[in-house]
Structure 1
């Protein structure tokens, strides 16, 4: 192809990529909902796990600690920060211990709901609404007006002479309230001002959590002034933001470094600046194709899908390397691509079969990953086959075509490798048996089901989170009491029946505190029962006149009180829907999960001392103690079993694919043996080092197996022709070095997920390369002698 036609093809290809990139940018919606990477719940406990992780009271709670200055300064900063956050739409609750009295309750109960205070308050459960009780209340108010609290009491008195608002305030206060210092919450040592903030965004919304954290940081910067005080945030949302930022920084650094070194490697390998550019085009095409496929097939693609997808389709960088390394004088790039296509296509199809298992995983995120990877690899391979040959200049180095078969370095390497003993059948079987024995009999658990062991959150932050939860009496993040019913009313009634049991457990020291929705919103049955205890308008007026007989208060002052009671007596019971837009909604919605045909009441526990005793005590009331850790482990275990069965089916399909391509049982076994032995060796090394395997190791094993299959196929493709062997060696050395580089860098990451994949795949690359040489290579027929070390010193790769 002439230079002008090559330039035209390159420009057209780049133009197509730009158009595809624009289309993807217009249609791709990136999602942050981590539940897309959770398996489908199969049990009630697992479903509650998913709901609780996203919407429960613990998942949306951020704990803030201000430290590093004098207590009075910290208290002022706490107050200013709480005021700055209170009106922000990113938060449904901001608490620091201040304004815990009537003003706060008036804000919690807007004017339209204020008459309901007599239905929400437990007062009428123990007191009769008669003249004697009202007289006692009015006498108490008279004394209150002569106290320092007069400024607070006087505005409430006409509508609320019994101070039901303050009764509710006391009932709704945290049961284990932190220490108060200078009017706000502090830790017991008095060194940290504490705040509890509940976000509007769900726990599974990293974007929303990120926005909330940024609002808090900006507000703190404004109240900080010249103070040396510091802000510390803990909680699921804060941790996800911290880990997400660290992951992005590390991925960016590793990606940039890998790109630079990969370009340098290709420049050295092919002695041409065009090679890195040519190698990037199929990979870019595959990446855009993957993004386009998930944009068409799903409502939104998760950010994790994009990150992992580009990692997995990184194997596509091998395709142009094979094409360029196998190019030889006298052979057009089109004929070269045509000759390589059966081998390259077999590897691509086999790799895609492995990722097909993700489509039956039951996890939407993995389905997206499968579509992304299969589309990306397929398009990258097709681009290498049908477009890239048109861009290859066979004589760009002063008219001399590049030929890896003439490289002294390759000849020297092949001569050394040829001296290695072959791995025979017996030796291979012994190696397989030994690896299997190490894998099977290594001490410790084989699988890692504990998701907390994978957390990249620093240990000191986890410890601080535990300390702050203890100080604030925040709910336990592992255990929940669950009541499952048909509707919200039944759930509230069930939690009311459970209340005496919970109070007894608290008195016995089994729990330090608890919180449940019926504490803020009684059931409709309870509200109706309290309505029956409210006197009618005439009776209440007469009762009030009798109570005022010896009081200095005038009866006409209490007309708002009479109106509120009359409204409460006739109003329909308050429901959770009626609380929308009020501070109460945040508390109730987190503890009362409502579906189309079911509802679940949650009881958040703090200071849980004896889970077994709590479980036994609540069981007769239809409640269960949900262990979120155990539920997550069962979810992971069930998903893993399903994935392993799918992988077993994929292995059979892969075997069939290779058989169809090679049509020779000995060649099939020779090509597959390095991949199979590498998998066993990797498992043996991991288990021998005491590493418990997780789902990310499985992904890494699949990726490493695909690489091993490619190495075996191309060594087999070379046959016994020495020049073909050298070209195949050149391609595989460059491919393996490039792959080893990126995954070795990932292995140095502080993120456990990246570390697990990086170290496993890097190990697999080394094993696959060595075993392919020991098993697949054939003895060369004829060929010149290996170069001397002097010749080698004068050569380049």
Structure 2
């Protein structure tokens, strides 16, 4: 093929990749729901944890703090921001203490106030009660509160609406200055905002954060002032920005370093461009397979991990480039390389097949993406790349510098019993190093800086937010039964609050009483004639006109005849968010949640739960058990993968000694990486396990290619050149990841970097054959080359 034809072929390949990439950019949509990367929950705690992580109000709550101006100015800004966000469909509710609770009762629900309030549980709506209330209203009208009371009087002379609003206030509400919430120091105005976007909808959360920032900028104008945002959505935005910044500089340094390394290694400007084509093809083919098999359910973590794991495919064209020699067709070189390359690819793909049976949707996507990508890169290297490569003008085996390096390597003693001693030492460190082996606490994996987490805890304390670790749950057949059961807990919980065992609690029944309780209160309402007679008696000596409270009479009559309220009757009202967050309905029944604030005596609350037919759930323990279950599935998949990988290599090599020579470096490297991490006090996470898979794949390739070189000095030199370039490229990429401030990237980077070093050294010591002997070396024989 002529040089022009090769150039045309390369450009055609690139054009095809661009076309498919353009189609994918229009078709592929990513999910940020972490629950797809978690196993199916097996306990009530785990199920509740997963539901609340994505859809619960805790995951959608944002905390705002305004500062940088005097209190009156901050209060005005708080009101302006609340008004702007309340009119924005992206937010479920906005609270800043202004008319606290009143806005939660829309006009259509106000006739129900006596059914929602506990007043009639102890006090009949008779003439004496009405007379006392009306006399109190006369005093209220002459007080500073008159402007608030006067609009309510015609329909609500007992101010039951205000009683409800006060009853729905948080038990530990912040102080109020200039009619809005402020912190204890009076220097920051506080707001609570709930987004409609789920906690694991990064795009929705990002839009909500941007809307809040725009609202603050509009309220502030050109004046000075600061906005502080906290909560899961704000953290997600912070994580995304940080990841983008770090990915930017890491990607830039990686790209420059890789191009320079390839230019130095092969002294051709075409090699970096042609070498990128199989990798790009692998990524695009993997993405296309996800679109075809999973549609719009592709998880962002699948893509992130997948591109990390298919980093091994960059080695395929490098091995091909290094095997070129003057006077031979590239097709000859790739045919000689193909059996070894195909063995490595097949072994790795078979290992990833085990993830298809893990029962975790995210891992299944990861398996499909990786298998398709690896196979695509290998096939492109075998059947497309040779047609585009210029015939080699030199053979890397003739490099004097490379020969000197190899001669020094050959003088190294071949390990025998030292390998066994090293393995035993590694096992001893792994087994007996003090401290936990696994890290199950998801909170310690967060990339959010500690100061931001501490500040979030302070703001939650200022706003009286509930404890996020413990929650009481009541399981029932339906929502009505759950509400009734949770109402039964209130006397005991009130006693705990009085005794100081906890500061406060919250439940759906606080906002929406059970239908049974509403009916009891409905029956306690007097009939139309009885109420009119009682009202006329109460107004006998009052300056109010006899017809001043006709709206009140109409409201009570409507409440007597109206159907009782259910959870779905609150849809579209501010109450809906509070009730939905504390009353979870599913196919198997309903769960009423009781959130706890200022919990001091866990055992006392647990006793109340047991006596009332409820359960006290420890969400921290639930998250740790979920991580442990997930890890168990991955370890089982890895165990099966190791067996399949060993079987594949055995079938390909047809020799126990050759198989041992290939698998031993990989197995020993895994032990050494674990030992180093344990010695440094690192508690292992799921990300370390996934990184070990990548490191094992790299080690398998290094050992296979050294074994493929046999005892030919020139083939050994070419293989050394390829493995040096591959390992340096991989080491550069993952060493930079190890410097990341994001725990996930740091875990992956440090683990794979260690694996590259150990795999390279052990493959050299164990897998290479003595040059020029024509024999197959035994890796356990202590000789010198």
SS of the residue aligned with 1:353?
A: helix
In the other structure, the counterpart of 2:582 is 591
**2:591 aligned with 1:600, yes or no?**
yes
Name the residue aligned to 1:79.
Answer: 79
Taking the aligned partners of 1:205 and 1:492, their CA distance within structure 2 comes to 30
Question: Whole-Å Cα distance in 2 between the matches of residues 423 and 353 of structure 1?
Answer: 31
1:776 maps to 2:767: yes
Say if 1:488 and 1:592, in contact at 8 Å, map to a contact too.
yes
2:26 paired residue number:
26
Q: How many Å separate the matches in 1 of 2:69 and 2:665?
A: 63
In the TM superposition, residue 419 of structure 1 has moved relative to its aligned partner by: 1.0
Which stretches in structure 1 are left out of the alignment for 5+ residues?
396-400, 784-797
Q: 2:642 aligns with which of 645, 651, 665?
A: 651
Picking from 413, 417, 429, the partner of 2:409 is 417
Question: What's the CA shift for 1:748?
Answer: 0.2
Matched, 1:318 2:315: yes
- 1:152 is the counterpart of 2:153: no
Question: 1:752 aligned to 2:748?
Answer: no
Q: Deviations over 1:25-53 (max 9, x none)?
A: 23212112121122211111100001111
| Structure 2 partner of 1:786 | none
Q: Which of 736, 741, 757 does residue 766 from structure 1 map onto?
A: 757
Q: What residue is the counterpart of 2:779 in the other structure?
A: none
Displacement after TM superposition at 1:428 (Å)? 1.5
Q: How many residues align?
A: 773
Which of 561, 571, 574 in structure 1 is aligned with 2:565? 574
CA distance in 2, matches of 1:782, 1:611: 74
Q: Distance in 1 between matches of 2:505 and 2:577?
A: 16
Contact 2:10–2:274 (8 Å) recurs in 1: no
TM-superposed deviation, 1:82: 2.0
Tell me if the contact between 1:90 and 1:201 (Cα under 8 Å) persists in the aligned partners: yes
* 2:160 is equivalent to residue 164 of structure 1: yes
> 1:455: Cα distance to partner?
1.3
Asked if residue 182 in structure 1 is aligned to residue 178 in structure 2, the reply is yes
Alignment of 1:618-767 (within 5 A): 618-767=609-758
User: Does the CA contact (< 8 Å) of 1:498 and 1:621 recur in 2?
Assistant: yes
Residue of 173, 197, 202 corresponding to 1:206:
202
Structure 1 residue 226: deviation in Å? 4.1
Partner of 2:390: 393
**Following TM superposition, by how much is the alpha carbon of 1:281 offset from its aligned partner in structure 2, in angstroms?**
0.3
Judge conservation of contact 2:325–2:394 (CA < 8 Å) in 1: yes
Mapped contact 1:58–1:476 kept (Cα < 8 A): no
SS across alignment from 2:359: coil
Pairwise mapping of residues 221-370 of structure 1 onto structure 2 (< 5 A)?
Answer: 221-298=217-294, 299-370=296-367
The equivalent of 2:398 in structure 1 is 406
Which residue of 368, 371, 374 maps to 1:371?
A: 368
1:58 is paired with a residue of what secondary structure?
helix
Q: Kindly indicate whether the alpha-carbon contact (under 8 Å) linking 1:270 and 1:402 is maintained by their aligned counterparts in 2.
A: no
CA contact (8 A) 1:517 1:592 kept: yes
Q: Residue 194 of structure 1: SS of its match in structure 2? A: strand
Deviates more, 1:634-643 or 1:187-196: 187-196
Q: Secondary structure at the match of 1:443?
A: coil
**Partner residue, 2:780:** none
How much has 1:331 moved relative to structure 2?
2.4
The CA distance in 2 between the partners of 1:423 and 1:326, in whole Å, is: 28
Q: 2:511 aligns with which of 503, 520, 545?
A: 520
- Pairing partner for 2:463 from 467, 472, 475: 472
Q: How does 1:121-136 map to 2 (within 5 A)?
A: 121-136=117-132
TM-score under structure 2 length normalisation: 0.96
Post-superposition shift, 1:270? 0.4
- In the TM superposition, what is the alpha-carbon distance from 1:680 to its structure 2 partner? 0.6
Give 1:341 shift: 1.1
- CA offsets per residue over residues 596-640 of structure 1, 9 Å max, x none? 231111111111112222112221112112111110000111111
User: Residues 111, 187 of structure 1: CA spacing in aligned structure 2 closer, same or farther, 3 A cutoff?
Assistant: closer
- Tell me the secondary structure at the aligned position of residue 474 of structure 2: strand
Residue equivalent to 2:213: 217
Do structure 1's residue 490 and structure 2's residue 486 form an aligned pair?
A: no
Work out the CA distance in 2 between the residues paired with 1:245 and 1:301: 22
* Comparing 475-484 and 65-74, the one that deviates more: 65-74
C-alpha spacing 1:471/1:389, structure 2 compared with 1 (3 Å):
same
The answer as to whether partners of 2:38 and 2:630 remain within 8 angstroms in 1 is no
Shift of 1:463: 1.0
- What residue in structure 2 maps to residue 792 of structure 1? none
Cα distance in 1, alignment partners of residues 85 and 613 from structure 2: 39
Give CA deviations for 1:316-367 in whole Å, capped at 9, x if unaligned: 1111101111111232112211211111111112222332333233222222
Tell me which of 135, 148, 156 is aligned to 1:139. Answer: 135
Cα distance, 1:542 vs. partner? 2.0
Query: Which of 175, 188, 193 is matched with 1:192 structurally?
Result: 188
Is the 1:188–1:471 Cα contact (8 Å) retained in structure 2?
yes
Q: What CA distance in whole angstroms lies between the structure 1 residues aligned with 2:154 and 2:72?
A: 36
Q: Give SS of 1:377's match.
A: helix
Q: Is 2:373 the counterpart of 1:381?
A: no
* Shift of residue 11, structure 1, vs aligned partner: 2.8
Asked if the contact 2:130/2:538 (under 8 Å) is kept, the reply is: yes
- What is the SS of the residue equivalent to 2:192? strand
Whole-angstrom distance in 2 between the partners of 1:109 and 1:97: 15
Unpaired runs of 5+ residues, structure 2, are 775-785
Separation of aligned partners in 2, 1:68 and 1:557: 48
Counterpart CA distance in 2 for 1:251 and 1:353 is: 31
Do the aligned residues in 1 keep the contact of 2:528 with 2:557 (CA within 8 Å)?
yes
The match for 1:9 is 9
User: Which stretch of the first structure deviates more once superposed, 335-344 or 651-660?
Assistant: 335-344
Moved more, 725-734 or 537-546: 537-546
Task: Quote the RMSD (CA, aligned, Å).
Answer: 1.5
Distance between the aligned counterparts of 1:612 and 1:743, measured in 2?
A: 47
The residue number in structure 2 matching 1:793 is none
- Provide, for residues 530-583 of structure 1, a one-character-per-residue CA deviation record: whole Å limited to 9, x for no partner: 110011222222222222222222232222111111111111110111111111
> Secondary structure in 1 aligned to 2:93?
strand
1:57 alignment counterpart = 57
